[in-house]
Amino acid sequence: MTRPVRLGAVNYLNVRPLVFGLDGHAGFTIRYDAPSECARLLAAGEIDLGMVPSITYLDRAGDCVVPGVAIGSDGPVASVALFSRRPMREVRHIALDTSSRTSAALVRILCRRVFEITPGFVPHAPDLPAMLASADAALLIGDAALFFDHRAAGVEKWDLGAIWAEMTGLPFVWAFWSGRPAAVDGTAVAALQQSAHRGATETESIARDYCADHPARVPEAVRYLRENLAFELTPRAVEGLRTYYREAVATGAARTERDVTFFDTAT
């Protein structure tokens, strides 16, 4: 009997449409972790397929990507942002959320290409008050960034998805399913694609289930899933991914770029 595919998903709201209906699916097991931990588990062989930060793909020659499925944005993303009490042109130190290398690399790109600053970077656990106590600005990702009331806190929020789109005119791909070429067959790929398609139509029920302990968050969660996120890895999104890889190499955030290789969809 073939064992289930071991999936490593991120422990944020944004992944839930992509795994809709997969809990209890005979062909998969799922665990939820921070994006950086998904990448570590994949490298350690503890999962077969990870919803990994997109920059991780550059470190793993030979890996393939599930076609047509991603966590992306085409404009404001709401859940990946810099928070600052001063204008970005005056920022000298930035605390970087250690949960995701993709967003940290994007900050380096935008500092050079948009903000025109060369700050120092300090890795930090995702704790905004502590981060802003030790730096002029802080990168925060995921639910912590999405649901943080920056206006009440008196800080500016710089949406990295919006800034990227303004700079390039392209979508940004934050994460995708990736693993070794033999990790999944065409049947498993199709199941992951079907899950994403179904999940994209069930955003309200997904948001309500996810925010069951915080019902006041439901309207924002629904809006986020429907308006800020793009779950389809389109050709235009792939072009945005290639552009990101080129920029990451140009700014020293990555050593080498590579093109995207997809899993075979044949069953």
Residue 247 has pLDDT above 60, yes or no: yes
pLDDT tier at 115 (50, 70, 90 boundaries)?
very high
Convert the pLDDT of each residue in 41-67 to its tens digit: 999 999 999 999 999 999 888 999 999
In the chain, the largest separation of any two C-alpha atoms, in whole Å, equals: 60
Amino acid 39: pLDDT = 87
Convert the pLDDT of each residue in 214-240 to its tens digit: 999 999 999 999 999 999 999 999 999
Q: How far is CA 245 from CA 52, 54, 266, in A?
A: 15, 9, 28
pTM: 0.94
Measured from the Cβ of residue 154, the count of other Cβ atoms closer than 10 Å reads 7
pLDDT tier at 267 (50, 70, 90 boundaries)?
low
- Closest alpha carbon to 255 in 36, 58, 52: 58
Amino acid 35: pLDDT = 85
Strand partners of residue 138: 83, 95
Separation of CA 26 from chain center: 26
Question: What percent of the chain is modeled with pLDDT above 90?
Answer: 84
In sequence order, which residues have a C-beta less than 8 Å from that of residue 149 and are 6 or more positions away? none
Domains of the chain: 83-155 (3.40.190.10)
- Mean of the per-residue pLDDT values of the chain: 94
pLDDT tier at 99 (50, 70, 90 boundaries)?
confident
Amino acid 25: pLDDT = 87
Q: How far is CA 60 from CA 41, 52, 119, 261, in A?
A: 13, 11, 29, 12
Amino acid 1: pLDDT = 41
